[in-house]
């Protein structure tokens, strides 16, 4: 019984680390994978580097997409698209003209 008392703090540290660090990261990865799989032509997106554009082509073979920007068309890997920033862009209220 005394041996269990010695390992209890270590077990508690691992449990706290799991619930506050590891588990949320796994959930975020699942959400990001779902987001990239649900992308479709015409979606307005923002890449993780801050490039704004609209998806004009999706390629399932190499998991890439072609984005149309003001500078032309660029090919990106789908993992380069920011889930958080793209959601904010698509839920932002429309600008007044």
Read off the pLDDT of residues 40-78 as tens digits, 9 standing for 90 and up: 899 999 998 989 999 999 998 998 999 999 989 999 998
- DSSP label at residue 95: P
Tell me what percent of the residues of the chain surpass a pLDDT of 70. Answer: 93
pLDDT higher than 60, residue 87: yes
pLDDT value for 7: 86
- pTM across the whole model: 0.67
Q: What is the average pLDDT score of the chain?
A: 86
Strands 72-77 and 64-69: antiparallel
- How much is the CA Rg of the chain, to the nearest whole Å? 21
Which CATH architecture fits 40-91? Roll (2.30)
CA distances, 50 to each of 46, 66, 67, 83 (Å): 6, 16, 13, 12
Count how many Cα atoms sit within 13 Å of the Cα of residue 49 in the half-sphere of its side chain. Answer: 7
Confidence of residue 94 (pLDDT cuts 50, 70, 90): low
- What are the b/e assignments for 31-49, b being 16+ CB within 10 Å? ebeebbeeeeeebebbbee
pLDDT value for 92: 66
């Amino acid at each position: 019984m005394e041996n269990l008392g010695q390992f209890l703090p270590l077990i508690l540290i691992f449990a706290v680390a799991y619930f506050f660090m590891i588990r949320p990261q796994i959930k975020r990865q699942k959400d990001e994978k779902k987001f990239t799989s649900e992308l479709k032509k015409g979606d307005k997106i923002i890449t993780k580097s801050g490039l704004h554009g609209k998806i004009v082509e999706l390629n399932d073979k190499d998991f890439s997409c072609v984005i149309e920007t003001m500078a032309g068309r660029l090919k990106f890997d789908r993992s380069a698209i920011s889930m958080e920033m793209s959601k904010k862009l698509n839920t932002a209220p429309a600008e007044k003209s």
